[in-house]
Structure 1
Amino acid sequence: MKSKRAMPTQQQFVLPLLDCLENVGGSARTGDLYDALALKMGVSDEMRSETFVSGDCTYNRFEHTCRWAQQKAKALGLVAPTGRAVWELTGQGKESLHRATPGLVITIFETAQGIALYGRAEEAVAHIDDRSVRLIFTSPPYPLLRAKEYGNRAAHEYVDWLLRIAELWPKKLTQDGSVVINLGDVMNRGEPSFSTYQERLIIRLEDELGWKLCQRYAWHNPAKMPSPAEWVTVRRVRVKTSIEPLYWFAPNDMPYGDNRQVLVPYSESMRATLAAGGQSGANRPSGHQMNNGAFAADNGGAIPGNLLSLSNTASNDGYQRHCRENGFKVHPARFPAGLPEHFIKMTTVKGDTVWDPFSGSFQTGRVAESLERNWIGTELNLDYFPGALGRFPDATVHQAALLERLRQPETMLV
């Protein structure tokens, strides 16, 4: 028997309410707004007639939910009453149809294993259960000299900003949970020297928050473009930067890890050694004495190093095809699937939960789901959610009509 559809939550009504107001020119009477909301949210006549009793009064459930959404939007400065039963969309309300406003966290879509939240990372954290996350894997917007549309900050502000957000994370992690952060190098303005913001961040995470640094990694992208162009290809006083650092932290106790889950194929020489029954006894130049039969055990693969060599050149993967074919914006700062895959395998087991506070195209969530982990993704730019849906064909979408309006001309997709 088909289950009866539930009324959308009060919070889920806020964005559609703003969208309805924009679609009718920015203002509407309350009754007309309710009709438009019912149509946009797929609320049936039966659901519109539902009532509930509170105290001595009987209320219409749908209209009560709409009124709550109005008042929430008003409190956030997104709408304003302009006359008797007339509501108007504010400038901030229009902006919220593209970029999350403080105080508003909304579920855009979900799967059997994950949930995609529209909101700011520092506020979405309140919607995550304490001690429920085994791994936070994320690549915050890099601090850049020029502002990008996906929300980067200047280098001199970056450490304080990220520290304020990160201090909320340990409570959400299991006691043996991990945080892995991918950060990019940033040059100082006007000269071929680099900011030391990463080092300052690491020191403050330890000194002020008590985090421990478990390991440094480097992501080597052999196909990375020669940049910064001014110093690499124009003046030619520097070589191109082809690695990006990742830092594995323990915010609580020492985290779970198992390098047997990330073994790599043996080299030809190691396979030959195994076939020969191990190495012959010898003294190494370092003074280490090698016993006969050393390295004779086949453990299924070699322990990898902390250099992850992964090209990031995909131009026609499923995500980008979905965006192009449907007119959705492509997130410009994506990492290859192999990056989150390594750390998810290394620091979690099946059934654990992975959270990416700065999800972008939701690559982390897609990889987590493919590895049978649960996931949570947070993103503050609504324009990137329609494209992200291409990674989750079986997702349940809560704001389908709202996402559909974000289709863009082909020339504006990237």
Structure 2
Amino acid sequence: MKRDTETKILSNSRKTFTQEQFVLPLLDCLEIEGGRARTRDLCDAVAVKMGIEEATRDEMIEIGGQEYNRFDRTVRWAQQRAKALGLTLPTGKATWELTGKGKEALHRAAPGLVITIFTTADGVALFGRAEEAVAHIDDGSVRLLFTSPPYPLLREKQYSNKAANEYVDWLLRIAETWPKKMTRDGSVVINLGDVMNRGEPTVSLYQERLLVRLEDELGWKLCQRYAWHNPSKLPAPAEWVTVRRVRVKTSLEQLYWLAPNDMPFADNRQVLVPYSESMKSTLARGGETGALRPSGHHLAAGAFSVDNGGAIASNLLSLSNSSSNDAYQRLCRQNDLPIHPARFPAGLPEHFIKMCTEQGDTVFDPFSGSFQTGAVAERLGRKWIGTELHLEYLAGAALRFPHATIHQPQLLHDMKHSSVLL
């Protein structure tokens, strides 16, 4: 089924989603909730699945003199669309159930199922659950694990602090399988965004809880904290930033660089950044003149006179995440495949791949999504392994690799032609 290009779209920090793109996450969330859920809970769960920011999640629109939550209306449209296709059924007041046809349309890896979908000369894409696919990776083979796990959401009762603790438990169970697959000097880098506590302008400490347990229970060490500054983010959370104005907008996400075994390999000369104009002038005149700085440090004459090819990078990465028409998205649209809704910019994995690996090393992303990490690794001359839970997103990811060998062409063909979502 072709997408209607005139379908109303929802904007999320300059990324856009067609209403059709909500159907797959809706079905997936229904299955996760045991096949039945209330609409209000589905709206929150879909927001997490699609990486919807608070500003978009809380946006209101006026229709006929009344205000409505725009995101909730879009999810309800997806419910009606799924109902018309026979994928869901209303089973009570604001409660929906996944039908047998809906389960068949949802090409989600079953427990215990791990299949190689496509390969390149340097990479392997696996269809399966992250906690099970890792068993198919050779011990001691991965030098960098870079990933962005799905975030928890603390809005309704099932996304309470208890749920945040359960999320940490879940991620810890998966993470404990990683060190065996890593080289002794391998690194793990995890992108974890902030989550607001329900009903108040405070932030969950789930990241800190995870870090403490990684060290106390698994013996990992924290090498360095990074912050990803996304200048394209909208003011959020709207309730506290634009309505009550008691907080400033959140433009940072956290990345944690961890050592699961011994101290990891790293070389900051591989991620040098351009010199500032001031530094260029200093180099041109042969370095600094001798001086005593206000801090009390003595600056020797001729200091900073050597051109090292660039300045040492900081742990603040400023990268916009606003692309709505890159090659991956265009190819997905041309092939009637769903676009993975939660994507990070290529610059994030690129920094750590350059910093923590060398040519020929292997990079692993257990929550690959659109396989951005694999594409960057291959471009930089590294090998890669990625796993993904949804076959639809693997089909789209394969389009990033024009010379890939498809190992399950019939599976992808049957998925595409049997799915009423596409």
What band does the TM-score fall into relative to the shorter chain? 0.7 to 0.9
Matched residue SS, 1:213: strand
Equivalent residue, structure 2, for 1:316: 325
Aligned residues: 319
Decide whether the 8 Å contact of 2:221 with 2:259 is kept in 1: yes
In 1, Cα distance between the equivalents of 2:337 and 2:386? 19
Equivalent residue, structure 2, for 1:305: 314
Offset, 1:339: 0.2
Matched residue SS, 1:174: strand
Decide whether the 8 Å contact of 1:328 with 1:408 is kept in 2: no
Equivalent residue, structure 1, for 2:280: 271
In 1, Cα distance between the equivalents of 2:165 and 2:328? 34
1:369 equivalent to 2:391? Answer no
Offset, 1:190: 1.5
Offset, 1:115: 0.4
Matched residue SS, 2:364: strand
Deviation track 1:1-45 (CA, whole Å, cap 9, x = no partner) reads xxxxxxxxxxxxxxxxxxxxxxxxxxxxxxxxxxxxxxxxxxxxx
Offset, 1:237: 2.3
2:122 maps to amino acid: Q
Taking a change above 3 Å as real, the CA distance of residues 128 and 349 of structure 1, as seen in their structure-2 partners, is same
In 1, Cα distance between the equivalents of 2:202 and 2:417? 39
In 1, Cα distance between the equivalents of 2:106 and 2:247? 42
Decide whether the 8 Å contact of 1:327 with 1:408 is kept in 2: no
1:128 equivalent to 2:137? Answer yes
Matched residue SS, 2:149: coil
Equivalent residue, structure 2, for 1:290: 299
In 1, Cα distance between the equivalents of 2:175 and 2:359? 25
Which structure's relative contact order is higher, taking Cα pairs within 8 Å and 6+ residues apart? 2
Match of 2:199 among 156, 171, 190: 190
Decide whether the 8 Å contact of 1:329 with 1:408 is kept in 2: no
Unaligned runs of 5+ in 2: 1-98, 157-161
Matched residue SS, 1:224: coil
In 1, Cα distance between the equivalents of 2:105 and 2:182? 30
Deviation track 1:166-185 (CA, whole Å, cap 9, x = no partner) reads 00100000000000000010
In 2, Cα distance between the equivalents of 1:200 and 1:261? 32
1:109 equivalent to 2:118? Answer yes
Matched residue SS, 2:188: strand
Equivalent residue, structure 1, for 2:357: 348
In 1, Cα distance between the equivalents of 2:259 and 2:395? 34
1:157 maps to amino acid: E
Deviating more after overlay: 225-234 vs 359-368: 225-234
2:130 maps to amino acid: A
1:118 maps to amino acid: F
2:256 maps to amino acid: Y
Matched residue SS, 2:227: strand
Decide whether the 8 Å contact of 1:120 with 1:379 is kept in 2: yes
1:213 equivalent to 2:222? Answer yes
1:129 maps to amino acid: D
Decide whether the 8 Å contact of 2:117 with 2:127 is kept in 1: yes
Match of 2:334 among 325, 334, 355: 325
Taking a change above 3 Å as real, the CA distance of residues 205 and 95 of structure 1, as seen in their structure-2 partners, is farther
Decide whether the 8 Å contact of 1:155 with 1:186 is kept in 2: no
In 2, Cα distance between the equivalents of 1:408 and 1:186? 38
Runs of 4+ aligned residues of structure 1 deviating over 3 Å after TM superposition are 90-97, 404-409
Deviating more after overlay: 385-394 vs 211-220: 385-394
Decide whether the 8 Å contact of 2:194 with 2:204 is kept in 1: yes
Equivalent residue, structure 2, for 1:177: 186
Identical positions, percent: 76
Match of 1:224 among 224, 233, 245: 233
Offset, 1:231: 2.1
Matched residue SS, 2:274: coil
Deviation track 1:94-126 (CA, whole Å, cap 9, x = no partner) reads 559511111110011110000000101111111
Decide whether the 8 Å contact of 1:140 with 1:183 is kept in 2: yes
Decide whether the 8 Å contact of 1:365 with 1:377 is kept in 2: yes
In 2, Cα distance between the equivalents of 1:164 and 1:102? 16
Decide whether the 8 Å contact of 2:196 with 2:204 is kept in 1: yes
In 2, Cα distance between the equivalents of 1:367 and 1:396? 18
1:295 maps to amino acid: F
Matched residue SS, 1:223: coil
1:235 equivalent to 2:244? Answer yes
Matched residue SS, 1:316: coil
Deviating more after overlay: 96-105 vs 178-187: 96-105
TM-score for both structures, normalised by structure 2? 0.72
In 2, Cα distance between the equivalents of 1:398 and 1:350? 26
Matched residue SS, 1:340: helix
Q: Highest CA radius of gyration, 1 or 2?
A: 1
Matched residue SS, 1:354: strand
1:180 maps to amino acid: V
1:282 maps to amino acid: A
In 2, Cα distance between the equivalents of 1:238 and 1:261? 37
Decide whether the 8 Å contact of 1:100 with 1:120 is kept in 2: yes
2:198 maps to amino acid: R
Matched residue SS, 1:368: helix
In 1, Cα distance between the equivalents of 2:318 and 2:417? 34
Q: CA RMSD in A?
A: 2.3
In 2, Cα distance between the equivalents of 1:354 and 1:164? 20
In 2, Cα distance between the equivalents of 1:224 and 1:408? 37
Offset, 1:293: 0.2
Decide whether the 8 Å contact of 1:318 with 1:390 is kept in 2: no
Decide whether the 8 Å contact of 2:155 with 2:198 is kept in 1: no
Decide whether the 8 Å contact of 2:231 with 2:319 is kept in 1: yes
Equivalent residue, structure 1, for 2:254: 245
